[in-house]
Amino acid sequence: MKKNLSILGATGSIGTSALDVVKKHSDKFRVVGLSGHRNIDLLLRQIKEFHPAVVAVTDTGACGEITSQCGGETRVVCGVEGAKEVATLDDVDMVVSAVVGAVGLLPTLAAIKAGKDIALANKETLVIGGALIAPALAESGVALLPVDSEHSAIFQSIRGHGKAEIRRLILTASGGPFRTWRREEIEKATLKEALRHPNWNMGSKITIDSATMMNKGLEMIEAHWLFGVDPEAIDILIHPESIVHSMVEYIDGVIIAQLGIPDMRIPIAYALGYPHRLDMELKRLNFAETGSLTFESPDRAKFPAITLAYEAIREGGTFPAVMNAANEEAVRAFMRGGVSFTGIHELVRRVMDRHKSLTVSLENILEADAWARRQAAEILGK
């Protein structure tokens, strides 16, 4: 019997990779719903190939064009409400949450409450709304399976072990394109240089987050909620080869790691097929060719975004939502030339310094998110 999927963020890097997995294993999966933003041409090609029952277009301007060009049996819905509809379709078994940014929270939360298993690639859902997602998962009893390579590695490494046996989680990071640069060189980094990731092919926003290492800070917060481990027991380690995808250290000193080539289709396939593994016929890891595996501690003076993330989760409340929203606006400003590369973390710091935390509720999280974006705009305007 096929597993019915809705894929949110189908036109992004994770969404297209997920559809590659579906195409490879068409005997196991069927696409029922898709959502995209404004990549009209790609979304139309996906509709033609996978024949989803419902498609959501979150960019209202693009929605009309998709509707006019989309014939057949596919129904088109618009905006965030449309994405929520795709995430809660009656015959969907699993939702792949692959949108980028805080916009992923509402449809992912709606899917959980509707009893859908989640393959989560949208880390911001847990970063800003972990305190809401955790009880919703407990109440609904659905499975949340991590898609990020680091969290998938931890998830695989803790199978068969209890939380009491874990001493710490070790998130590995490539270090991005500026790992070996001096601080004064990083200050002058261009957009083109920031988008030149050494190992992974990702979307622009995630690639820039990797360059600032904010991505690793977000992943630390995500790991806290996924695995119930205190931030102080989550370490970050630079591993430029991106072969060891993350590790778990146990109380007896044993460390278990998951290794593999850097290809996002591997953790995606693991989440979609769980508890079974799928044969992806990808290049196999050859240790003789790989040679040495190297590790080093991150330089927080060069990459202060890591410190900002630890501060946000320790402060709790709406601080993670504010940090995330400010970062999204700062990255957007960098991409259009409004701030320098180091201006990204400077803007996030200034917005966080203005914030007075609110208690966690959906309303307060959304308000804090909007507040942080207004503060970022005000600072940028000056």
Give the tens place of pLDDT for each residue, 184-229.
999 999 999 999 887 777 789 999 999 999 999 999 999 999 999 9
pLDDT for 340? 97
Dihedral of CA atoms 323, 329, 333, 338 in degrees, nearest 10, equals -70
Amino acid at 68: S
H helix intervals, the chain = 13-24, 40-50, 60-69, 79-87, 105-113, 124-140, 149-157, 183-186, 191-194, 204-212, 214-227, 265-273, 287-290, 305-315, 319-335, 342-354, 362-381
- For the record, the structure tokens of 66 come out as 């998709």
Q: Kindly report, residue by residue over 55-72, the tens digit of the pLDDT.
A: 999 998 888 888 888 877
Q: pLDDT confidence of 338, banded at 50, 70, 90?
A: very high
**pLDDT number for residue 65:** 87
Confidence of residue 163 (pLDDT cuts 50, 70, 90): very high
pLDDT score, position 202: 77
Mean of all residue pLDDT scores within the chain: 95
pLDDT of residue 341: 97
| pLDDT value at residue 167 | 98
C-alpha span between 367 and 361 (Å, rounded): 10
CA quadruple 268, 272, 277, 280: dihedral sign: negative
DSSP states of 317-347 as a string? TTHHHHHHHHHHHHHHHHHTTSS-SHHHHHH
Query: How far is Cα 373 from Cα 382, in angstroms, rounded to an integer?
Result: 14
**What tokens were used for 278?**
């799928």
For the chain, the C-alpha Rg in angstroms (whole number) is 20
Amino acid letter, 281? E
97-115: average pLDDT: 95
Instruction: Please name the residues in contact with 118: beta carbons below 8 A apart, sequence gap of 6 or more.
Output: 94, 95, 97, 108, 111, 112, 142, 143, 144, 145
CA distances from 240 to 88, 153, 220, 277, 341 (A): 39, 16, 18, 27, 21
Quote the percentage of the chain above a pLDDT of 90.
Answer: 92
Q: Under a CB-based contact definition with an 8 Å cutoff, are residues 93 and 3 in contact?
A: yes
Q: Which residues of 42-63 are buried (b: 16+ CB within 10 A; e: fewer)?
A: ebbebbeebebbbbbbbeeebb
Q: What is the pLDDT of residue 285?
A: 94
- Asked if the peptide bond before residue 231 counts as cis, ω within 30 degrees of 0, the response is no
Q: Is the pLDDT of residue 258 over 90?
A: yes
pLDDT for the residue 60:
85
The whole-number pLDDT of residue 90 equals 97
Q: What confidence score (pLDDT) does residue 71 get?
A: 72
Q: Mean pLDDT across the stretch 161-183?
A: 95
d(CA 142, CA 136): 9
Q: What is the pLDDT of residue 64?
A: 86
Output the pLDDT for position 198. Answer: 79
How many C-beta atoms surround the C-beta of residue 33 within 10 A? 30
Enumerate the β-bridge partners of residue 146.
120
Return the pLDDT at 73.
Answer: 83
Per-residue confidence (pLDDT) for residue 23, from 0 to 100: 97
* Token pair belonging to 234: 């989550």
Architecture per CATH, 3-142: 3-Layer(aba) Sandwich (3.40)
332-371 as b/e: b if 16+ CB within 10 A: bbbeeeebebbebbebbbebbeebebbebeeebbbebbeb
Q: What are phi and psi of 331, to 5 degrees?
A: -65, -40
Average confidence (pLDDT) over 347-368: 97
pTM assigned to the model: 0.95
Whether 326 has a pLDDT exceeding 90, the answer reads yes
d(Cα 147, Cα 123) in Å, to the nearest integer?
9
Report the range of poorest mean pLDDT among 88-92, 98-102, 308-312: 98-102
Query: Using one digit for the tens of pLDDT, what is the confidence trace for 75-92?
Result: 999 999 999 999 999 999
Closest by Cα among 262, 253, 233 to 171: 233
pLDDT at 361 over 90: yes
